[in-house]
Amino acid sequence: MTERPVFREDHALFREQVRRFIAERIAPHYPQWERAGITPRALWREAGEAGLLNCQLPEPYGLGGDYGHAACVIEELARANFLGIGFSIHSDMVAPYLMQYATHAVRDAWLPKMARGEAIGAIAMTEPGAGSDLKAIRTRADAVDGGYRLNGQKTWITNGVNADVAVVVATVAPELGAGGLSLFCVDLRQPGVSRGAPMAKIGQHAQDTAELFFENVHLPADCLLGEARRGFAYLEEQLAAERLAIALRAGASAEGMLGESVAYVRQRKAFGRTLIDHQNTRFVLASAAARLAMLRCFLDQCLGWQMQGRLDATTAAMAKLNATEIQGQVLDDLLQLHGGYGYSSEYGIGRAWTDARALRIFGGTSEILRDIIGRAL
């Protein structure tokens, strides 16, 4: 990889630490976790001990680093083709909501445990009838003495089987649409919370994904994150960083698979020559390398802006749209170079191809992102 000025020396040293952790603690076991459909809780505790969780949060809530440290974890997991590890949802989505909007008591109760991997976080926005259209959310939090009563259903919840705590989006005033949304920190181990069976997916099999059900769940008043009816505004505040995280995953995934594919075509033969000796192969690889080089420049610029607190929602939408669309196209081309082996489980390109498909859906579909960008023109 060429030099990337957005990262400092401490980032480079941390990246090496992340790579060692992945090689020693994840790579040997990942096929087993894929078959099991879940990542063991022990991995989270090991990641916490290694300082890989809540990287951008101050101590004692996290590593005490910045978004650059978080990016190292995001990128190296994706580059190694382990998109099914749910660390980013936990560290770069759930934890910032708690850090930014929770009371001191709630922060102290959850964030140190999340940093150590003793508690696992999830974010519960999507419902059977509400995906990108947040104003259609029907999960309700009704005010009662001492707090709120939560009722509703959430679906496609990453870390949904393992999670101990979730940031839940619910309406406190359905008649106000998006203006009635609020965010809550919900202990998923309490009475009234139940989970569906792990959801079958076409990819990211090691990632536990489940439905969550809330039936008359009592939430103390301090479980409200920030102010009531400010949920939609808070979601918009955090979405730029969340979409950048997805974009970084997409870019690193494609780069990792490009490297794997170059190695493959150098040793695989067809018609008496290695695949790399065929002009078409070189053209496919050249196009992929050129597109990813341009994407990397843009993503690093966005990362720099995020580290300076300057990344805006429209630019983040561009980053996710470009990265995930380019990832999908590049991986499809690289899979084609593998021929029949690309469709088998023997090589990582097949898993990368199926795992990547979700990135164009969650965090805002490509269609939603185009609308956001178009309205800003």
Look at residue 315 and tell me whether its pLDDT is greater than 60: yes
Asked whether 326 and 289 are in contact (CB, 8 A), the reply is no
How many percent of the chain have pLDDT more than 90? Answer: 95
Which residues make Cβ contacts (< 8 Å) with residue 253, sequence separation at least 6? 78, 79, 81, 83, 327, 331, 352, 355, 356
Q: Is the predicted pLDDT of residue 16 greater than 70, yes or no?
A: yes
**Average pLDDT of 104-132?**
95
pLDDT for 368 beyond 90: yes
132 pLDDT band, cuts 50/70/90, is confident
pLDDT at 360: 97
Q: Per residue in 203-213, pLDDT tens?
A: 999 999 999 99
For 73-89, how does the pLDDT look when each residue is reduced to its tens digit (9 = 90+)? 999 999 999 999 999 99
Say which of 242, 255, 325, 346 is annotated catalytic. Answer: 242
Task: Give mean pLDDT, residues 136-147.
Answer: 95
Verify whether residue 242 is a known catalytic residue: yes
Q: What are phi and psi of 108, to 5 degrees?
A: -65, -30
Is residue 3's pLDDT more than 90? no
pLDDT at 1 over 60: no
pLDDT of 131 reads 76
- The mean pLDDT value of the chain amounts to 96
pLDDT in tens, 23-57: 999 999 999 999 999 999 999 999 999 999 999 99
Looking at residue 164, what is its pLDDT? 98
Binned at pLDDT 50, 70 and 90, residue 2 comes out as low
Q: Tens digit of pLDDT for each residue in 227-272?
A: 999 999 999 999 999 999 999 999 999 999 999 999 999 999 888 9
pTM of the model: 0.96
Interval 4-15 mean pLDDT: 97
What's residue 136's pLDDT? 85
The predicted pLDDT at position 129 comes to 86
